[in-house]
């Protein structure tokens, strides 16, 4: 990978299976861990059999989106009148567990961390629900419509104290975050640009729970924004910001950090081909993600296991992989303790991610979470037991099934001593098969290697 990080032309070229880098369980699991939340082992094995191109098609398919959304409508309608935003977080976890379009939901979670808004401050379930639905509807689309909408989003305006933006006292909060955190990144604007951009947003307010433009409170005088002059509206100002050269670099870099490498220094030269694709495609997010997820860099041996699983990725991934039911209210409490409950980011910067997910306290909480999920009653598993969920049968050699579980659910090789311990747990004669499988899953989940993605 080191060579690819310094060779942008090669890094983003399409990957093809070879004898040295075959399309096998390890690489199928890698792709689906990054693009999705979690995959039952039968589906992973099916993906290996159907081949790499078919699996890519599966990842990017949105064929089941409409019927699934329709099945969720009744719950969403009830939530929109609820006064408890925590139930909205539970609903979103349910969507993540059940959705047939995992990449869409995972990318929505990415944008939620990018345009971070906290329900504790907004205190309006309807507004938070509308924001998440807006992000989902544009998650794999084009960037400008998403930003234009989020700029007028009621939850965002409340969160950044912009409910009443008047020409006599322009509010600079959203203007600053739009440039620093959402589009340009530090160093690509001045304090003067912030003040001028804030003037463009004057007249933007909330009335009766909805966005309203109050033309009498808009500053119609000339502004000088990022080198351009004019009586800019808020929408025109957003367009100017989005068309700065640094916007494409900033968004491309964040996509790579979320889906490929979260703790590596990424050179401008490495990011530029993706930034160029964004500019040339009118910021087509889905097309850019497809370039990323089919690239040489994405499938490089050293890329696999170079991210830390977020608590949501770990929990939802395990629920999906085991096809097991869990009390999502309790799960939301555990995720809040681990610092990663959707709708409750720590600040406007969102979640830091990477190594920030792991410390002594959170590591214990993560291993306890794995234990809780793996040790459910048999009837909680949709296939009747944890052994059936993981396609393990009594006559199967423990050496075979333990290795298969490790290949499927641990991104990097385990130390020899750890593998021996897992084999001992899998071979125990005095415990039932389900107990042995659960023991292996729990021991696997307690390793540092399992925390990697």
Q: Look at residue 79 in the predicted model and tell me its pLDDT.
A: 78
- 47 Cβ contact list (under 8 Å, min separation 6): 28, 32, 39, 54, 55, 58
Cβ–Cβ < 8 Å for 83, 127: no
Q: What six digits make up the tokens of 189?
A: 């604007």
Cβ–Cβ < 8 Å for 191, 205: no
Q: Look at residue 1 in the predicted model and tell me its pLDDT.
A: 54
Nearest residue to 428 (alpha-carbon basis) of 440, 417, 441, 413 = 440
Nearest residue to 444 (alpha-carbon basis) of 370, 391, 380 = 370
Q: Which long-range contacts (CB under 8 A, 24 or more apart) does 98-101 make?
A: 98/68, 99/68, 100/64, 100/65, 100/68, 101/61, 101/62, 101/64, 101/65, 101/68
- 37 Cβ contact list (under 8 Å, min separation 6): 96, 97, 102, 105, 106, 312, 313, 316, 317, 320
Q: Look at residue 446 in the predicted model and tell me its pLDDT.
A: 97
- Residue 364: CB atoms within 10 Å: 11
Please provide residue 206's backbone torsions phi and psi, each rounded to the nearest 5 degrees: -115, 130
Cβ–Cβ < 8 Å for 147, 238: yes
- 215 Cβ contact list (under 8 Å, min separation 6): 203
Q: Look at residue 111 in the predicted model and tell me its pLDDT.
A: 98
Domain ranges of the chain: 12-60+244-299, 143-235, 311-451
Give the separation between CA 181 and CA 174, rounded to whole angstroms: 10
- For the chain, what is the mean pLDDT? 95
Please provide residue 302's backbone torsions phi and psi, each rounded to the nearest 5 degrees: -80, -10
Tell me the mean pLDDT per 10 residues along the chain, length 453: 80 96 96 96 97 98 93 83 86 96 98 97 94 98 98 97 90 97 97 98 94 96 97 98 97 97 89 98 98 97 94 98 96 97 97 94 97 95 96 93 96 97 91 96 98 95
For 251-278, give the DSSP string: HHHHHHHHHT-SSS---HHHHHHHHHHH
Token pair 């290795």 in the structure block, residue: 403
> Is residue 204 within a helix (H) or strand (E), and if so which, with residue range?
strand 204-207
């Amino acid at each position: 990978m080191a060579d690819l990080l310094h060779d942008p032309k090669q890094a983003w070229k399409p990957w093809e299976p070879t004898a040295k880098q075959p399309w096998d369980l390890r690489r199928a699991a890698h792709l689906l861990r990054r693009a999705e939340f979690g995959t039952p082992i039968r589906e992973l094995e099916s993906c290996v059999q159907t081949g790499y191109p078919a699996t890519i098609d599966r990842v990017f398919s949105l064929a089941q989106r409409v019927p699934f959304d329709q099945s969720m409508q009744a719950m969403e309608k009830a939530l929109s009148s609820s006064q408890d935003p925590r139930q909205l977080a539970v609903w979103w976890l349910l969507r993540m567990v059940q959705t047939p379009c995992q990449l869409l939901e995972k990318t929505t979670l990415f944008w939620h961390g990018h345009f971070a808004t906290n329900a504790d401050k907004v205190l309006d379930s309807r507004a938070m629900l509308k924001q998440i639905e807006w992000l989902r509807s544009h998650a794999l689309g084009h960037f400008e419509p998403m930003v234009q909408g989020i700029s007028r989003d009621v939850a965002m305006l409340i969160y950044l104290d912009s409910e009443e933006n008047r020409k006599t006292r322009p509010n600079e909060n959203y203007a600053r975050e739009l440039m620093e955190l959402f589009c340009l990144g530090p160093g690509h604007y001045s304090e003067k640009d912030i003040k001028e951009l804030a003037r463009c947003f004057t007249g933007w307010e909330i009335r009766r729970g909805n966005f309203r433009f109050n033309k009498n409170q808009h500053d119609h005088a000339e502004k000088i924004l990022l080198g351009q002059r004019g009586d800019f509206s808020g929408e025109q100002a957003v367009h100017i910001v989005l068309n700065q050269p640094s916007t494409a670099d900033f968004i491309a870099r964040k996509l790579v950090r979320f889906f490929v490498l979260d703790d590596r220094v990424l050179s401008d030269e490495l990011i530029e081909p993706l930034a160029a694709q964004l500019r040339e495609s009118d910021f087509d997010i889905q097309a850019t993600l497809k370039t990323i997820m089919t690239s040489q860099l994405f499938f490089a041996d050293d890329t696999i296991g170079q991210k830390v699983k977020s608590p949501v990725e770990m929990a939802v991934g395990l629920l999906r992989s085991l096809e097991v039911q869990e009390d999502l209210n309790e799960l939301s409490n555990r995720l809040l303790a681990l610092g990663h409950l959707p709708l409750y980011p720590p600040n406007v910067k969102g979640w830091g991610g990477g190594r920030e997910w792991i410390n002594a306290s959170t590591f214990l909480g993560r291993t306890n979470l794995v234990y809780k999920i793996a040790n459910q009653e048999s009837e909680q598993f949709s296939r009747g037991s944890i052994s059936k969920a993981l396609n393990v049968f009594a006559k199967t050699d423990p050496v075979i099934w333990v290795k298969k579980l490790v290949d499927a659910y641990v991104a990097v090789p385990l130390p020899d001593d750890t593998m021996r311990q897992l084999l001992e747990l899998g071979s125990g004669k005095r415990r039932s098969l389900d107990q042995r499988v659960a023991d292996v899953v729990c021991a696997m989940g307690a390793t540092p290697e399992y925390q990697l993605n």
